Chain A
Amino acid sequence: MCGLNGIFAFHTAASAPKRDELIATREHMAARGPDGVGEWWSDDRRCGLGFRRLAIQDLSERAAQPMISDDGSLVIVFNGEIYNAPELRSALTQAGCRFRTTSDTEVLLHLFAREGRALVEQLRGMYAFAIWNDRRRELLLARDPYGIKPLYTANDGWTFRFASQVKALLAGGGVSRDSEPGGVVGFHLFGSVPEPFTLYREIRALPAGHTQLIDEGGPREPRPFASLPAILADGARHPSKADELLARVRTSVGDSVRAHLISDVEVGHFLSAGVDSGALLGLMRDAGQGKIRAITLGFDEFRDTPDDEVPLASEVAERYGADHIVRRVNKREFDNDLPAIFEAMDQPSIDGINTWFVAKAAREAGLKVALSGLGGDELFAGYPSFTDLPRWRRRFGPLAAIPGMGALSRVVIGTLAPGIARRQPKALGLLEFANDWSGLYLLRRGLFLPHELRGFLEPDFISEGLRRLKPLHLVDQALTPDPGSDVGRVCALESANYMRNQLLRDADWAGMAHGVEIRVPLVDYTLLCEVAPALPALTPGAGKAALALTPTPALPDAITRRAKTGFGTPIGVWRQFAVAKTPDPVPAPRGIVSRKWSQTVLEACAA
């Protein structure tokens, strides 16, 4: 887990890249890579690569980056982990490759030399990398299928730039800060900026599961190599038997956890009171990890409430013999850290505060790597959306299909029941968006609905933003091809939208701000391939129940029975968000807190 960047003056007319820019971009990512620093330039100085290293595999200087192939023709900068590196190394060695390090970076170099762009099809892991081919004078960029690791690009028509962070590209001084209406509107709709958009027109995310080639003719359009809905659709075409669920989950999740433990430094764990992180802890133990330090956040505001994760997490830690670190966070620390949080927040997000503090705690404990249960709800149908969306579609879909019904219902509810409109503003959009899956998803996950944006954005800006963003089309991409089942559809929608654009991005910036690599065994393409055949028949709760049974011993009943609360923070209390400023204000519900918090976040990020 590191920070990478590069500049390639591809156009004949382009001025040679400036070293100052490369270094400024790289140094903006210093927190991502506190263990080493590197820089490489092509002989003609038209291409430069920069790197900040967080050393996790092969801690020696030999494994420093940018790493150059023995013959000098290939140079790589790589952020992430290749979990099947040992198997790939073994195969490559048998094929005659000679390794000088034990790093996965060198595996990528050898694999690229043999497979070219197709190397990505053999990789299991979270990654973003760039490989410069000096003979062909071209760059290849790649990003893992789920988009766990970030990679942003900027092309001004003469020069191509890339980096692990948006703000790092801006720090270089060579990239325009012109606003992208699609990104700004996207943030208001979703609470995070949906890729490939960013807040800036010139900066784009390389989409998850894509490679991109840049040669002297300039960057080509990104090309996909992995598709979550295609895997889910394939699973639906070849469903497994219902009684195979537990065995399938146990084998595949166990395998994923084992793969994710590969490291030359200690691997810790983020433990909540939920099934996902609890099961992972048990599976870490089952995989043979001796010492496990597990970290749980505790908030005084949650003490003695169902939101307090500490008591149950302690029970789970004890069950699997982990050293349990309970890290208390209070309003004072939150206030103190807030400027640093906004500074580290690469793009605005209404989440990520919890990850900031748990990563901070990990760093305080001396950990560089920790596993997280992120992704369990998406893969094993843990969110209410898995039941809500199909139900809403059945109930409201036919009515919503009547032309004009959406706008009419909005006017009627807004006029006759203004109270509902105030307390449940999204209720106004129910009949407008319930007609298809993407609309339902926007309704379920959306922060604001399009018709609400007029309250704080200019009408021209909104219409241009919506035109460029095409929010429903963007969401709908997660359903192409059709995953073939309701569970598969919601899994694809959640994985490719909320999880990718918010949870995984938050895990990156918040973890990296503290030099902590967050690994997510439940967000794994190989695991998805294994589990996909079992998803169509998954009944509510069955996936999580199976996951709870995977470790030995299984998770305690108290964990599986616990109502889902989310891995939350008391931001509403800390920021004193209330429904109304009366003498006795009523605490705002979570949705309203998110809306209010989003405005604070955007102001801070746009500053």
Chain B
Amino acid sequence: MNSTARTRCLALVTDAYGGRGGIAQYNRDFCGALVESGASVTVVPRHAPPHAELPAGLKQMAAPRGKIAYVLVALRVALREPVDVVFCGHLHLAPLAWLIARLKHARLIVQTHGIDAWARPSRLRRAATERADLVLSVSRFTRARVLAWAALPPERAVVVPDTVQDDFTPGDGSELRTHLGLDGKVVLLTVGRMDPRERYKGHDRVMAALPILLADGHRIIYLIIGEGDDRARLAGLAVNHGVADQVRFLGAVDTKTLVDAYRMADLFVMPSTAEGFGIAYLEAMTSGTPALGLMVGGARDALGDGQLGTAVAETDDLATAISSLLAAPKPQPVELSASAIARFGRRAFTVQVNRALERLKEAA
């Protein structure tokens, strides 16, 4: 890899521009940081809408239909274009990424996120990961899990945490609060997918805590933002707990509503047991709202080991933790936001991506 010439990167990803969810966001952030640092990037996504908005200097191929087509497109792009670095945005694509890196004598970065990388993958994926020049993880927990199944020099396993978008800043969310009729209420907020296959986000735990909090005199409303097939079950659960009137499902919302929801919430609470990182904690804190999660998985990182947000043990009583946070003085929103930005803001993210690239150049 030439240390002075422009780095040419081929990014094999599940989705990026035009995609939804944390992994797509990370891929956009990562590729964007590469472009900002002067690299040229060609993205080959598995899924993408036809007209995604792209930053200058970046090219995204149309998403091929089917796995075989994807492999053929990725190989065709690789053979036609010069490639210095292959960025593999998901473990599933690692064997293909390794093959292309090998064909092109390019460096290989394998990106790992959350539960997708926590269990030992197939031999092929493991072998490809073990041959990567750099394995990036979004949290220390994911990194540790990767090192548990990959025989990899630990120095090659590097943490580049998720970052947060500039939209999430402290501000006045009272308009939304009034609009939702929540004036005078204590608002708990969870933002996350409601997927019946992934019931780890902790909606159930919060609902179980609500009767106790209500009995203690808190005028609680629990707002849930996000969509998913598990919503009906959760609604039923609210009825079972006798808190149906206190639980509101807002579904998917636009960014402005999301930001205002974070701003007007009294506490963001997501006692998730399987976060790869947990961008939502970060969005809440950069919006100036305190966040509560478990000291489990990647959430520990997003909560800054309990120095940014509050991280309680899985065995701790959640109602007690919520109650004491509601009773405690609220952190200054601007200060909380600045602390979160200092660790996980876009600038910090770009620095980490550049350091990762520097390491590839050192190893070249």
Contact = CB atoms under 8 A, between A and B. Distances in A.
Interface string A218-241: 111110000000000000000000
Contact of A12 (B147, B158, B343): B343
B160 to A, nearest CB: 9
A11 B159 contact: yes
Contacts of A221: 153, 155-156
What interface size band does chain A fall in?
20 to 34
A204 B307 CA distance: 28
Contacts of A418: none
Contact of B351 (A12, A155, A176): A12
Interface stretch (B63-71, B98-106, B136-144): B136-144
A176 B144 contact: yes
B159 A13 contact: yes
Contacts of B161: 13
A220 to B, nearest CB: 6
A12 B348 contact: yes
A470 B304 CA distance: 37
B358 A217 contact: yes
Contacts of B301: 13, 158
A461 B55 CA distance: 47
Interface string B339-351: 0001110001001
B158 A157 contact: yes
B307 A178 contact: no
B305 A220 contact: no
B144 A218 contact: no
Interface in B109-143: 137, 139-140, 143
Of B140, B351, B358, most buried by chain A (CB within 10 Å of CB) is B140
B352 to A, nearest CB: 7
Interface in B142-158: 143-144, 147-148, 151, 153-158
A12 B343 CA distance: 6
B30 to A, nearest CB: 16
Given A156-B144, A201-B148, A202-B144, A13 B153 contact: no
Interface in B347-364: 348, 351-352, 355-356, 358-359, 362
B156 A157 contact: no
Nearest to B362: A220
A157 B155 contact: no
Interface residues of B, number: 31
B135 to A, nearest CB: 11
Contact of B359 (A204, A217, A468, A470): A217
B155 A13 contact: no
A220 B155 contact: yes
A11 B161 CA distance: 10
Contacts of B157: 157
A207 to B, nearest CB: 11
Contacts of B147: 201
A90 interface: no
Contacts of B144: 156-157, 176, 178, 201-202
Contacts of A201: 144, 147-148
Interface string A479-505: 000000000000000000000000000
A219 B362 CA distance: 13
Given A12-B343, A12-B348, A157-B140, A216 B355 contact: yes
The prevalent SS among residues of A at the interface is loop
A15 B140 contact: no
B343 A219 contact: no
B352 A467 contact: no
Of A11, A157, A178, A182, most buried by chain B (CB within 10 Å of CB) is A157
B343 A13 contact: yes
A136 to B, nearest CB: 14
Nearest to A468: B151
A157 B147 CA distance: 11
A468 B154 CA distance: 12
A204 B154 CA distance: 9
A157 B351 contact: no
A67 to B, nearest CB: 28
Contacts of A220: 155, 359, 362
B148 A178 contact: yes
A217 B144 CA distance: 18
A201 B348 CA distance: 28
Contact of A155 (B154, B304, B348): B154
Nearest to B150: A468
Contacts of A12: 342-343, 348, 351-352
Contact of A217 (B137, B140, B143, B355): B355
Contacts of B355: 216-218
A152 to B, nearest CB: 12
B140 A158 contact: yes
Contacts of B342: 12
A157 B343 contact: no
A223 to B, nearest CB: 11
Contacts of A178: 144, 148
A157 B153 contact: no
Nearest to B358: A217
A155 B137 contact: no
Of B156, B158, B356, most buried by chain A (CB within 10 Å of CB) is B158
B151 A15 contact: no
Given A202-B144, A217-B359, A157 B159 contact: yes
Of A11, A13, A202, A219, most buried by chain B (CB within 10 Å of CB) is A13
Nearest to A182: B151
A222 B154 CA distance: 11
Contacts of A158: 140, 159, 301
A222 to B, nearest CB: 8
Of B144, B153, B154, B342, most buried by chain A (CB within 10 Å of CB) is B154
Contacts of B305: 15
A467 B359 contact: no
Of B307, B348, B355, most buried by chain A (CB within 10 Å of CB) is B355
Interface in A174-206: 176, 178, 182, 201-202, 204
A219 B355 CA distance: 12
Given A13-B344, A158-B140, A176-B144, A219 B151 contact: no
Given A12-B351, A13-B344, A155 B151 contact: no
Contacts of A204: 154
Interface in A452-476: 467-468, 470
A200 to B, nearest CB: 12
Interface string B291-311: 000000000010011010000
24 contacts: A11-B352, A12-B343, A12-B348, A13-B159, A13-B343, A15-B304, A15-B305, A155-B154, A155-B155, A156-B144, A157-B159, A201-B144, A201-B148, A204-B154, A216-B355, A217-B358, A218-B155, A218-B158, A218-B359, A219-B155, A221-B153, A221-B155, A467-B151, A468-B151
Given A158-B140, A178-B148, A201-B147, 6 more contacts: A156-B140, A157-B140, A202-B154, A219-B154, A221-B156, A470-B151
Going nearest first, the 9 A-B pairs with the smallest beta carbon separation are: A157-B159, A217-B355, A157-B140, A12-B348, A13-B343, A157-B143, A468-B151, A221-B155, A15-B305
